[in-house]
Each structure stands twice: as structure tokens, then as C-alpha cells.
A = this chain, B = another copy of it.
Amino acid sequence: MKPESRAYSSYSRDALTLLAQIIRRARIERKLTTQELADRAGISRGLVQRIERGDPGCAIGAVFETAAIVGVRLFDADQPTMAAHLSANSATLALLPKSVRRSRGSVKDDF
């Protein structure tokens, strides 16, 4: 399937749009032109525009990097805290079953 014609839940679409808005707002508040932001992120101006439009097809790395440059944090934590979460998560992950067994019948669908 193509990112263009994929089906998105309203939540992920909203989240995407919101992130885009926040990035755009942060860029303007920091007085960076789209070109300057593009240069700093190592991407093209066109991509910055797509990111600020909330295009679902943009590479997540480009979006996160762009966000970071204008000071937007997906996880509001500093470096050491992030690292802590990373290792803590790794530990938890290590305790979970390595593979998921299909328990015929029900699936956790509560969200």
C-alpha cells in the first residue's frame, strides 16, 4: 500500500496535524524561514512544507529532526532522562515473551 492511499484513524491524523502545527508555530516563533530550517535539518524546503502540512508520507526521521531543531520535544524529557527511559524500556522488553502466541478467540482490543 502507498502512504498516500492508506487509511488513517482520526487519532493519528489529528496527532499528525497537531505535530505539524506545533512545528510550524515553533519555527515562526524562532524566526526561522522555511529555507533556514531546511538547511539546518539537512532537507529541502519542499519537505519542510510537507512536514508543516502534516503529510503522512514524510519520513519520520526528517519530521523528528525538524521538530528537534525548532525545540519541539515529542517526549518532554532531557537527555539523561531519555536515556533512562530507553534502558528501562529495554529491560522491560527483555522480560516480555519473545514471540506472541495466537491464543485463538479473543484479542485485546480495549483502547
Q: Which residues in A have some Cβ–Cβ distance to B below 8 Å?
A: 1, 3, 6-12, 14-19, 21-22, 24-25, 27-33, 36, 42-44, 55-65, 67-69, 71, 73-75, 79, 82-83, 85-86, 89-90, 92-93, 96-97, 99-103, 107-108, 111
Interchain residue pairs with CB less than 8 A apart (30): A1-B44, A3-B62, A7-B42, A7-B65, A8-B61, A9-B65, A9-B68, A9-B69, A11-B73, A11-B79, A11-B82, A12-B67, A14-B79, A15-B64, A15-B68, A15-B74, A15-B75, A15-B82, A16-B64, A18-B86, A24-B93, A25-B93, A31-B100, A31-B101, A32-B100, A33-B100, A36-B102, A55-B61, A56-B62, A57-B60
